[in-house]
Each structure stands twice: as C-alpha cells, then as structure tokens.
C-alpha cells in the first residue's frame, strides 16, 4: 500500500519505480544465509534519512532564490516560475543531482503552465475548401455550385456533386530566436513553449525552431517530433553568449521553410534588432513570403532595423516590453496569416 502526502512531489508510479530499483540494487544474500524478514522495521537512522528525503521539495529552493535575488522579495505565490526564471544559474547552486533534477522538472512545468495561462483559449478562423463528393465524406453539399455543374446533364455522376469543408489553413512557421547576450534562457524557453503549445492546440500549425547568436542552430525542423520537455530544458539551461548575426539566422529560416508542404509559410523573428556581425539582414528578410518581427525593447534595440526587416518581408513589426507578451503576439500573428489578412506575395 502506498500513501502519498498532499505536499508530495512524486506520484505513485515514481514511488513504485524507486522501490523496484532499490530491490534490484540490493546485494544477493550469502549462500545458506536466511533472507531478512521483509516485515522488519527500518533502523532509526534509516527512518530519519528517508524522512528528510521525502520532505525535500520546492520550499528548499527558497533560501537559494532569495540569496540570488539579493535578499529582495520573491513571488511566493509562484515559486515554480521563480525557479524557471533563475534555473540557468540555480542549477549550479544546488547541493545534489536529485535537487537539480527536481528544479529542472519544476522549471519545465512552470514554463508550460505560464504559457497556458497567458494564452487562454485559442482557435484559428476557418476557410472554405470546395471539391467533388467522395463516398463517406461528411462535407456539406454546395447546392448552388452543384446545380450549375449538373445543368443540362442527362445523368448525374458523383463527381458532379460539389461539397464544401470548413477548416483552418495549414501553416508552416519558422520561429527564429535571438540567443545572443541580450537574451536569457527563461525568455527563450517561454517563446519556444508558446509556439509549441500553439502548434499542439491548433493542430494545423507546424513549426521549426532556430536560435542564433553569431551563427544559427536549428533545434527543431518541420514535421520533426521533438519532446517539449527536452526542448524547454535545453533552452532553460542555455546562457546567452556571442555576437548577433541576424542575416545568417534569417537565411537558415528560409532554408528550413522550403521543406514545408504548404505554401502558407511564415517567419517570426524575435530580436532587439541590434546585429553586431554579418550582413545587413534586410535582403535576407526579402526572401520570406511573410516575415513578422517581434522587437524586444531594450536600451540598445533598433526599431528602424526591425521595421525595415518586417517591411521587406511583407509582414509587420510588433514591440514587446516583457516576454509575458510573446505568447499572445505569436497567437495574433497566426490568426492574421490564417485569415489571409495580408495579400499574397
């Protein structure tokens, strides 16, 4: 029988796995020896050790977080998000691998939960697709189109019946994230989790993910199945380094987008626009069917550069002062493209 306290950080399956692993790690008894009585109670020192292990939880991170925060006030109502925001440094301050793993799991869940809270309900507008009737189809018959097609026919064939389906447009999205000195792991994780959650909930959206500093790195390709926990964990652990080469990143994005099956392809660049190496990115922006630029406000952000890239890419520039705004901005972009609000290039 397994009893879990309300404040426990593990579930029953994890407890069972732990018990099984402990059993298999026990040394075999000497030949001829009597196996220990399974009902024998543990020694007092073992009881204290196990009790202290079970008691370890999110509250153990509070003193470390307060120290990292310079003694300032923490958001005690959402310690999970505090762990996520500080994870890239926090993981080096923990005394054991078990605590580091606990912090990683809490940070991942907190990031996803925050994105879900910021997004709220989501849906994409539908458009009408017409075609010929096929047996077993549950599409609605377009009476006007069907009458025009069969007018004057002596015999009506199944192909003469026109049906219509309402469905969101398929979208292929390249999310390109600035991972240079101006960015931190929690911001990268927030943006990545946002597009992943949107793709999962909207069904008709596929995405690729490119991060960049002086060179681009593709973390996920279109149609690639990538574990979201691993993706967020890698980004939370990353430290912003290097120069900023936006030109190479945009070229990598178009290269990856060419793999898309749909023609509805869109690039979303999140940056402060302050490139420090490489060519002027405006030419690379022109290669996109649609490029939206989300400028993160900072003391050295370049609004004119961001606006020029968005204009050359046939898209629009958005400005955000906090990464909490990113999920809704990404959702807004997807709705705009799905509605066909911008003329085709």
- Bridge partners for 38 per DSSP: none
- Say if strands 171-178 and 265-271 run parallel, antiparallel, or are unpaired: parallel
Percent of the chain with pLDDT over 70: 74
Mean pLDDT of 316-341: 91
pLDDT over threshold 50, residue 55: no
What integer pLDDT is reported at residue 23 of this predicted model? 47
Flag whether pLDDT at 319 surpasses 60.
Answer: yes
24-28, 81-85, 120-124, 147-151 — which is least confidently predicted?
24-28
Mean pLDDT of 286-303: 94
Q: What φ, ψ does residue 37 adopt, rounded to 5°?
A: -70, 120
Amino acid 91: pLDDT: 81
The pLDDT tens digits for 110-166 are 999 999 999 988 888 776 677 787 776 767 777 788 788 888 777 877 778 887 777
pLDDT band, residue 284 (cuts 50/70/90): very high
| 24: confidence class by pLDDT, cuts 50, 70, 90 | very low
Query: What is the Cβ-side half-sphere exposure of residue 197, based on CA atoms within 13 angstroms?
Result: 26
Q: What is the mean pLDDT of residues 308-327?
A: 95
> In order of start, what are the domains of the chain with their CATH numbers?
56-119 (no CATH), 126-168 (no CATH), 171-339 (3.40.50.410)
φ, ψ at 10 (rounded to 5°):
-125, 160
Q: Is the pLDDT of residue 52 over 50?
A: no
Q: What is the pLDDT of residue 210?
A: 95
Residue 104 has pLDDT above 60, yes or no: yes
Q: Measure the CA–CA gap between 115 and 194, rounded to whole angstroms.
A: 6
The better pLDDT of the pair 169, 75 is held by 169
Band (37; pLDDT cuts 50, 70, 90): low
d(CA 48, CA 52): 6
Which DSSP string corresponds to 179-222?
Answer: -STT--HHHHHHHHHHHHHHHHHHSSEEEEEEEESSSEEEEE-T
Has residue 77 got a pLDDT over 60?
Answer: no
| Lowest mean pLDDT segment, chosen from 79-83, 126-130, 184-188 | 126-130
The per-residue b/e assignment along 149-167, b for 16 or more CB within 10 angstroms, e otherwise, is beeeeeeeeeebbbbeeee
Greatest mean pLDDT among 12-16, 179-183, 299-303: 299-303
* Per-residue pLDDT band at 293 (split at 50, 70, 90): very high
Predicted confidence (pLDDT) per residue in 203-223, tens digit = 889 999 999 999 999 999 999
């Amino acid at each position: 029988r397994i009893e879990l306290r309300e404040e426990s950080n593990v579930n029953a399956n994890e407890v069972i796995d732990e018990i099984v692993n402990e059993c298999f790690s026990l040394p075999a008894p000497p030949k001829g020896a009597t196996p220990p009585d399974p009902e024998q109670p543990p020694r007092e020192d073992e009881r204290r050790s196990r009790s202290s292990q079970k008691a370890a939880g999110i509250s153990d991170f509070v003193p470390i977080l307060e120290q990292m925060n310079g003694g300032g006030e923490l958001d005690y109502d959402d310690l999970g998000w505090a762990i996520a925001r500080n994870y890239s440094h926090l993981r080096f301050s923990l005394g054991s691998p078990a605590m580091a793993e606990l912090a990683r799991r809490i940070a991942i869940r907190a990031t996803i939960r925050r994105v879900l809270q910021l997004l709220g309900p989501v849906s994409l507008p539908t458009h009408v697709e017409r075609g010929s009737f096929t047996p077993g189809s549950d599409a609605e018959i377009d009476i006007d189109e069907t009458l025009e097609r069969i007018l004057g026919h002596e015999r009506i064939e199944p192909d003469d019946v026109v049906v219509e389906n309402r469905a969101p447009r398929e979208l292929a999205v390249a999310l390109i994230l600035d991972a240079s000195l101006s960015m931190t792991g929690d911001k990268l994780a927030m943006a990545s989790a946002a597009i992943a959650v949107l793709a999962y909930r909207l069904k008709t959206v596929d995405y690729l993910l490119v991060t960049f500093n002086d060179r681009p790195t593709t973390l996920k390709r279109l149609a690639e199945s990538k574990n979201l926990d691993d993706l967020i964990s890698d980004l939370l652990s990353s430290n912003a380094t290097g120069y900023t080469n936006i030109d190479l990143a945009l070229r990598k994005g178009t290269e990856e987008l060419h793999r898309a099956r749909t023609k509805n392809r869109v690039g979303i660049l999140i940056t402060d626009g302050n490139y420090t190496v490489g060519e002027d990115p405006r030419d690379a922006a022109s290669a996109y069917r649609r490029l939206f630029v989300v400028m993160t406000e900072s003391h050295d952000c370049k609004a004119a550069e961001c606006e020029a890239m968005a204009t050359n890419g046939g898209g629009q520039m958005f400005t955000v002062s906090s990464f909490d705004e990113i999920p809704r901005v990404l959702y807004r972009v997807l709705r705009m493209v799905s509605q066909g609000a911008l003329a085709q290039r």
